[in-house]
Structure 1
Amino acid sequence: MPPLYKKTGDKSLVNLLGLDAFILFKTPKFAIFFAFSLLLGAALQLTNAYGDTFIQDFKNIPSYKDLTAVKYPAIIMSISQISETLFILAIPFFLRKFGIRYVMLFSMLAWVLRFGFFAFGDPADGLWMIVLSCIVYGMAFDFFNISGSLFVETQISPEIRASAQGLFMMMVNGFGALFGSLSSGLIIDKFFTHADKSKDWHGIWLTFAAYALVIAIIFPFVFRDKHGIEVKHAADLA
């Protein structure tokens, strides 16, 4: 792959500010990659912003308010952190077996399951769905964030690699989080908030699941990356 950037003796303001990686938007493959990074960052913001609130809202329903999961939602949500650790260990296998492109796709499908299980779960008979949602969160979070970072590491020339990693993080945790926060707040307030200010969580999570599903359907058709030597190297790096 020819380098996308050449060193020069003089450093411009762009170089000094670490904005070199923005040149990557001129290349369709990288522009698409960063666009999907933003969209997946929005999904991450949705689960961070509303996961605990969703479970805590069950305290307003008499049949659920005394359940342990409702009283101590942090215990249930901590399963997500355990899952993150375990799925990190699985990433090298998945990268070798399927390649970066499919690992990213698995992440998007995991977001569909994450939101879908929340939509049909509850702290009583449906607690297993909430637990499964927390388990698949590890795949949803790790598979895109780590494989995306490895994609940058193996596909972008060393001169702008650090800047590109920063751009990737900014798209996920900066612009993606902002987009997810603003858009979800508007949608929930307009379509899923009742007159008494209670939330239609079933509708909210199904909408988020549909959002992740649309991303997952579009992704393999617009993002094409060969499963070759660079993917094997990425698996070694993991």
Structure 2
Amino acid sequence: MQKWFFLFAFPLIFIKLRYKGSIIAAIVAWMLMYGSFALGAHTGKTGFIYAVLPLHGFCFTFFFVAGQLYVDEKAPSSLRNAAQGLIAFATYGVGKYLGTLVAGNVVDQYTTQGVHDWVSVWTVPFVMAVIILVGFVSLFRENLNTGSETGNT
């Protein structure tokens, strides 16, 4: 349900945040999600877990939709279909496959005699999101003058 809300709200918020701001907001929301999961596991309070579940829709919309729009804007018109296919393959195919492998290994690493250390399990993606945020903020340069480059006015 929350994905639909954020999909409809996205265009209004995107006008202000643009690409970099939208993706940063999504990564920060992932940090809040994983941090809350770790905090919920640490305290035993399920309220932390339920409170941040709507953030999943926000993360999905602001990360994936902004990324797809960015690729669509930057790719030459003759390559747009291929570029969209490549980003879908990278995120929904390879990315999800590698994410599953990493997540499985993290859970295995923090499981002893069948007991999961959920605080550690959720801390790993939290730390990964922090690292990704720092890298993204440092390396991504959004050219706000893209209309003239792509022939759009």
Q: Do Structure 1 and Structure 2 share a fold, with TM-score over 0.5?
A: yes
1:75-154 to structure 2, matched below 5 A, reads 82-121=1-40, 126-154=45-73
Aligned length: 146
Give structure 1 stretches of 5+ with no counterpart.
Answer: 1-81, 231-238
Q: Are 2:106 and 2:124, in contact at CA under 8 Å, matched by a contact in 1?
A: no
Q: Give the deviation of 1:224 after TM superposition.
A: 0.6
User: Aligned partners of 2:32, 2:112: CA distance in 1, in Å?
Assistant: 26
Q: Determine whether 1:220 maps to 2:128.
A: no
Q: Given residue 111 of structure 2, which amino acid in structure 1 is its aligned partner?
A: T
Q: Deviations over 1:77-112 (max 9, x none)?
A: xxxxx2111111221122111211110111111111
1:186 corresponding residue in structure 2:
105
Q: Structure 2 length normalisation: TM-score?
A: 0.87
The list of structure 1 runs, each at least 4 consecutive aligned residues, that deviate by more than 3 angstroms after superposition, is: none
Q: Are 2:26 and 2:63, in contact at CA under 8 Å, matched by a contact in 1?
A: yes
Q: Are 1:149 and 1:168, in contact at CA under 8 Å, matched by a contact in 2?
A: yes
1:1-238 to structure 2, matched below 5 A, reads 82-121=1-40, 126-190=45-109, 192-195=110-113, 197-228=114-145, 230=147
Give structure 2 stretches of 5+ with no counterpart.
Answer: 148-153
Report the RMSD for the aligned CA atoms in angstroms.
Answer: 1.8
Over alpha carbons, which structure has the higher Rg?
Answer: 1
Percent of paired sites with the same residue: 27
